[in-house]
Amino acid sequence: MTAVRIETSGQKRPADRGGSAEPMIQIQDLALQYGDKPALKGISMTIPKNRVTAFIGPSGCGKTTLLRCLNRMNDLVDGVRIQGRILIGGRDIHDGAMDVTELRKRVGMVFQKSNPFPKSIYDNVAYGPRILGSRSRSDLDATVERSLDAAALWNEVRDRLHESALSLSGGQQQRLCIARALAVEPEVLLMDEPCSALDPIATAKIEELMEELKSRYTIVVVTHNMQQAARASDFTGFLLLGDLVEFGATETIFTTPADRRTEDYITGRFG
Amino acid sequence: MSWNQTRRKAVSGLVVGFCAASVVLALIPLGFILTYVIRNGLPALSLGFFTQMPKPVGEPGGGMANAIAGTLILVGLAALVAVPIGIISGIYVSEYRRTRLASAVRFSADILNGVPSIVIGLFAYTAAVLPFRRFSALAGGLALGIMMIPIIVRTTEELLNLVPGALRDGALALGASRARAVFTVILPAALPGILTGVLVALARIAGETAPLLFTAFNNRFWSTRLDQPIASLTVQVYTYAISPYDDWHRQAWAGATVLIGAILLFSLLARATTRRLERMHRT
């Protein structure tokens, strides 16, 4: 081994990092095809509650597709076929009794490119609660404040809640999107490369936020950035060409990967 | 400077010059029309033109108050017909863009856009004049509205397609239904552009004469009744322009000036509205 390892042991970590936790999401033999092109080939994994789980892998490996399965965002894509089961909190998300609105209330999502609506900051955060029927002004006010606070944005925007969300900086917009997702009080937060368009300072803020949020939410994050996975996640899954090559505690994946391909990828030999 | 560089500069200069010449050429007719109309029309314009009724032949003065009101009513009726149908069809075509019905609607809209306005007038005549045995403002509004529909459908579609898919994903990921995502996020994001499209369409049909000739017909008197023939600036200008009287010719020039001025005003209004809405979205 001549390649440089990503240093993970020197960082400050909570004692229970990795460790045992109760399962939140169980994926069983999940296969997905776009037309006749397989994108995910029989993936099984258990994502623990109140932990940050990262999916890593080269472009086109299926990590974003896998993430989008968890809140059924692939439903709208033409020609998608999905097999296998996904249980979130013990309930099958493809069950006929499971309403997709209810699923997405429980499983929030933050996208790669921040996508605030061209509305005020307030209306962005209140969008989800309003869908769920919340009309009372005082309830909404409280929800907006709580969510912006949880996304570490409240102090920066408290005096300009009714200005357009598009007037915020890139990092602020992404935190606004996190606040918007948190406003419906989800159990799971999916993040699709949430920092790929952000500078290092904004990225650090989001990573800090993930660490804080995991006490209340189960976080699943897709990332291109292996340092980020090493820094910010408790568990890591490595995907390659639609297969889950390896899944385990982040520390293990980055220091003693079991699979040769994982090692090659994290040491930067390909990808 | 090397020969090659000199050559490239020369070619670049030539192309830029050609483009500039084309722009000037394209603007020349507009310039001529505007100066001609304004030079002939302005002297005939007075406050009375806007407030007075047409006078009989031989009596000097008089105005086109009835025609101005008539044009406003006709354009308003057309908007009532075309805006809801056009925007809703535009939403359908944009949302279900790969379906057969969507391509059919798109194709029909393009065909309809190319139908000569006199033919649309004939259609409105058959549909709304013959059954009631009476020319009416309603029939005129219908004809103009039909002309507006395809413009609004295509503008709406194009502008909705420009809204980033990420916004739709964001709304859906929060549990919004598809319809809700369209009406609360996507349509509002495209609205400034759609509004401009509507105003441009209004400006265009406000200048139509042919579809009104045998639908709204014309009216020498003040009328705001929708079931009666109604005057319009364009038909009035046409009637006066082909008359043998100098007084009426002057009135026709004045009418044309007012018409062009109104359309210019509409276009400016459209641009101002777009800017204001865009600013509201940004800050």
CATH architecture group of domain A23-266:
3-Layer(aba) Sandwich (3.40)
Torsion-angle region of B133 (φ positive above 0: left; ψ -120 to 50: alpha; else: beta):
left
Highest mean pLDDT among A70-84, B201-215, B261-275: B201-215
- Cβ contact, residue pair B175, A163, below 8 Å: no
CA distance A167 to chain B (A): 5
Q: Which residue of A has its CA nearest to B178?
A: A76
Q: Which chain B residues contact residue A70 at CB under 8 A?
A: none
Of the pLDDT bands very low, low, confident and very high (cuts 50, 70, 90), residue A183 is: very high
The mean pLDDT of B127-153, rounded to a whole number, is 94
With pLDDT > 70 as the criterion, what percentage of chain A qualifies? 92
- Cβ contact, residue pair B189, A117, below 8 Å: yes
Asked if A132 reaches chain B (Cβ–Cβ under 8 Å), the answer is yes
Torsion-angle region of A19 (φ positive above 0: left; ψ -120 to 50: alpha; else: beta):
left
Average pLDDT for chain B = 90
Asked if A102 reaches chain B (Cβ–Cβ under 8 Å), the answer is yes
Of the pLDDT bands very low, low, confident and very high (cuts 50, 70, 90), residue A9 is: very low
Of the pLDDT bands very low, low, confident and very high (cuts 50, 70, 90), residue B1 is: low
Residue A120 has pLDDT above 90, yes or no: yes
Q: What ipTM does the predicted assembly reach?
A: 0.83
Tens digits of residue pLDDT in A123-177: 999 999 999 888 899 999 999 999 999 888 999 999 999 999 999 998 899 999 9
A218-222 and A235-240 strand pairing: unpaired
Q: Which chain B residues contact residue A102 at CB under 8 A?
A: 175
The mean pLDDT of B29-49, rounded to a whole number, is 90
Residue B271 has pLDDT above 90, yes or no: no
- Cβ contact, residue pair A167, B167, below 8 Å: no
Provide the residue type at B61 as one letter: G
HEC readout, chain A: CCCCCCCCCCCCCCCCCCCCCCEEEEEEEEEEEECCEEEEEEEEEEEECCCEEEEECCCCCCHHHHHHHCCCHHHHCCCEEEEEEEEECCEECCCCCCCHHHHHHHEEEECCCCCCCCCEHHHHHHHHHHHCCCCCHHHHHHHHHHHHHHCCCHHHHCCCCCCEHHHCCHHHHHHHHHHHHHCCCCCEEEEECCCCCCCHHHHHHHHHHHHHHCCCCEEEEECCCHHHHHHHCCEEEEEECCEEEEEEEHHHHHHCCCCHHHHHHHCCCCC
- Cβ contact, residue pair A115, B177, below 8 Å: no
Which of A75, A100, A101, A196 is the best substitution to test chain B (most B C-beta atoms within 10 A)?
A101
Q: Domain residues of chain B, as ranges?
A: 3-44, 49-282
Q: Which two tokens stand for residue B75?
A: 């354009």
The mean pLDDT of B139-168, rounded to a whole number, is 93
The mean pLDDT of B28-34, rounded to a whole number, is 92
- Cβ contact, residue pair B176, A131, below 8 Å: yes
- Cβ contact, residue pair B171, A117, below 8 Å: yes
CA distance B199 to chain A (A): 23
**Crossing angle of the two packed helices B246-282 and B65-95, in degrees rounded to 10:** 40
Q: Which of A28-37, B10-19, B81-90 has the lowest mean pLDDT?
A: A28-37
Residue B238 has pLDDT above 60, yes or no: yes
Asked if B165 reaches chain A (Cβ–Cβ under 8 Å), the answer is no
Q: Which residue of B has its CA nearest to A164?
A: B283
Q: Which residue of B has its CA nearest to A114?
A: B166
d(C-alpha B244, C-alpha B221), whole Å? 21
What is residue B281's predicted lDDT score, i.e. its pLDDT?
A: 56
Tens digits of residue pLDDT in B97-126: 889 999 999 999 999 999 999 999 999 999
Asked if B1 reaches chain A (Cβ–Cβ under 8 Å), the answer is no
**CATH top-level class of B49-282:** mainly alpha
Which of B174, B274, B281 is the best substitution to test chain A (most A C-beta atoms within 10 A)?
B174
Tens digits of residue pLDDT in B187-228: 998 988 898 889 889 988 998 999 999 899 888 888 888 889
CA distance B126 to chain A (A): 44
Q: Which residue of A has its CA nearest to B165?
A: A115
What is residue A4's predicted lDDT score, i.e. its pLDDT?
A: 45
Residue B280 has pLDDT above 90, yes or no: no
- Cβ contact, residue pair B170, A113, below 8 Å: no
Residue A39 has pLDDT above 70, yes or no: yes
What is residue A3's predicted lDDT score, i.e. its pLDDT?
A: 45
- Cβ contact, residue pair B180, A131, below 8 Å: yes
Which of A64, A69, A78, A131 is the best substitution to test chain B (most B C-beta atoms within 10 A)?
A131
- Cβ contact, residue pair B281, A166, below 8 Å: yes
Residue B283: which of A108, A128, A167 has the nearest Cβ?
Answer: A167
